[in-house]
Amino acid sequence: MTAAYKNLGRFIQALRRAGELKVVDRPVSPFVEISRYTDAESKSPGGGKALLFPRVLGSEFPVATNLFGSSRRIGLALGVRNLDELGRRVRDILETQPPHGLADLTRLLGVALSLTRSFPRKSRAKRPPCQEVVHIGRDVDLGRLPVLHCWPKDAGPFFTLPLVFTKSLITGRRNVGMYRLQVFDRNTTGMHWHIHKDGSHFHQEYRRAGKRMPVAVAVGTDPATMYAATAPLPRNVDELILAGFIRNQPVPLTRCLTQDIDVPAEAEFILEGYVDPDELRREGPFGDHTGYYSLADDYPVFHVTAITHRRRPVYPATLVGRPPMEDCYLAKATERLFLPLLQMVFPEIIDYWLPWEGVFHNIAIVSIRKEFPGHGPKVMHGLWGQGQMSYCKALVIVDDTVDPKDPAAVLGRLLQRFNPETDVVLTKGVLDVLDHSAPQPLFGAKIGLDLTDPWPGEGRAPRPGVSPNRDMESPGRLVSKVREAVPGVVGLRFVNREEKWAGLDPRSMNLCLAAVSSGPDKSGAWFANKLLDLDVLAGVDLMILYDDRIDLADNSLVLWKLFNNVDPERDVTARGGRRVVDARIKGPADGHDREWPDELTFDV
């Protein structure tokens, strides 16, 4: 396998040869129609196929989607059969020791040679492919490109796979980030960089100096470079070095025609332009990777001074939404690639897992080799202070005997080990801008669950003894009694009664999922207290509330709702050792005054 694809076209050819490409050879509209095809393909078994749309209405350029949206395709893109191979390559470099013999010296020279191939270089082409066709000034028209209007309530068409090139005004260091661009008109777009991104950091340098900021955007590069733009690298680390490391070849660069920025010479399209220091425009809403529309807000404006492209370019796009989608596989590559780097800071970490339903920033499950009392909370606080992990809302820590990537093992550990009186760490900190459940944006509550075995001195206790009324009635009779006693309860699911949990220790936690019909007079706290009052549910330790239209049998759906819709401080009702967690849509009756975003759907 190879990751050294010269350009996007070569990668698409490789997908075709591997039987991983499906061509939709009929006229399609970039307004939602391509999205419908892509969403259906993304959610088919195994992620479906990559899609190529050669006949796009209103544009001469073909569109490609779902290029990375399966385990096989992300492996093909990055030149590995298994994503853990990337981590092993990183670990080989991190663990390099001084040579003690000829074999060690040979290995060290191999590592050094690999690193020298990682640094980007100037293209030798007289006319780089990305500048075969040039449109400058008045000839610029973004409307010629097949930019997708992804979801019905999006504010407009958005570039969804743009590689945004900026450089520091102070140090001149380059950054490559992937920030969506909403098309406003023929030569301006939004520049949606979040406040914690390097592009935004550089923008602040230009704002303080009162200077216009040069920007370039590459649309359609080789896959390793596209992936590198999504990677959460430390500030001042060049993403193109990571791309070269993955490719085992340097990324060739060329200078823009109207801006002092270098861009990938083999790109399909290049947008050149600038951002004025204090100009903002309303951007959004946009159907985001959380499965909800991110809300409209003011962002900088990108003025396009030139569009250049190959003679026969392909326009790549991605569709994001409720998992599983293409971005899940990109995130999985990051999870595997960055494990060795995380282990350098936290050598006790054995492995970790970012469940897709947590949309990358809402939950991480971490296994550690526990060595002393309080080791679990120590790792929690360390991770909350570490780069992109600082935005993670929930952390679950398990012993090294538990595979964090096995959801059944983790849930079984929760049911048998968890004591809410002693095993919870609550704190506050920075949150991802897309976290809609917190009472205010960007900052809020975080929760850690320590599911490791308790050590002497920790002040933790095993689960309490058998709860009263532990031998509950049959689920059917319970549902009938609960619905009669608490108006608005429409369905219950008793997880422990399912066959896979039949062998749990009798001291294990009883978990119940409840679908309820809310109203102005029925907040989450109202339902929580009513349910906790019921004698027939006295044997239930943990209840999770959902909206009435939720299919409680859909495990992925109930996890997605739980991870996205809960503020750990506001949405948990406690009574003794029992808890009710509110995963419903929130409003003023629940103490949530922010706008709650709409879920993504093609039905309007």
- Reported as a single tens digit per residue, the pLDDT across 581-590 is 999 999 999 9
CB 469 within 8 A of CB 486: no
- Fold match between domain 8-316 and domain 475-590: no
Whether residue 117 is predicted with pLDDT greater than 80 in this model: the reply is: no
CATH number attached to the domain at 346-450: 3.40.1670.10
Look up 288 and say whether it is catalytic: yes
- Residue 268 has phi, psi (to 5 degrees) of -75, -50
Whether residue 102 is predicted with pLDDT greater than 60 in this model: the reply is: no
Give bridge partners of residue 1 from the DSSP assignment: none
Residue 147 tokens read as: 């930019």
Max CA-CA distance within the chain? 81
Q: What is the percent of the chain where pLDDT is above 90?
A: 76
Mean pLDDT, residues 225-252 = 91
The Cα 36–Cα 336 span in angstroms is: 30
Is-above-0.75 flag for pTM? yes
Q: Which CATH number fits domain 8-316: 3.20.20.80, 3.40.1160.10, 3.40.50.720, 2.30.110.10?
A: 2.30.110.10
- Reported as a single tens digit per residue, the pLDDT across 382-424 is 999 988 899 999 999 999 999 999 998 999 899 888 999 999 9
DSSP-H helix ranges across 154-280? 198-209, 223-228, 239-247
The Cα 144–Cα 129 span in angstroms is: 19
Report pLDDT for 2: 60
- Reported as a single tens digit per residue, the pLDDT across 300-318 is 999 999 999 999 999 999 9
- Reported as a single tens digit per residue, the pLDDT across 126-148 is 899 999 999 999 999 999 999 99
Which residue among the candidates 288, 435, 450, 567 is catalytic per the annotation? 288
When comparing pLDDT for 465 and 286, which is higher? 286
- Residue 269 has phi, psi (to 5 degrees) of -130, 150
CB 281 within 8 A of CB 302: no
Report the interhelical angle of 8-17 vs 71-78 (nearest 10°). 130
When comparing pLDDT for 477 and 505, which is higher? 477
Mean pLDDT, residues 14-33 = 98
For 134, the 3-state DSSP assignment is: strand
Superfamily designation of domain 475-590? UbiD C-terminal domain-like (3.40.1670.10)
When comparing pLDDT for 564 and 97, which is higher? 564
- Reported as a single tens digit per residue, the pLDDT across 427-484 is 999 999 899 999 999 999 999 999 999 999 888 877 665 454 455 667 778 888 999 9
Whether residue 506 is predicted with pLDDT greater than 80 in this model: the reply is: no
The Cα 315–Cα 363 span in angstroms is: 33
Report pLDDT for 466: 47
Domain boundaries in the chain? 8-316, 346-450, 475-590
CB 398 within 8 A of CB 404: yes
CB 597 within 8 A of CB 294: yes
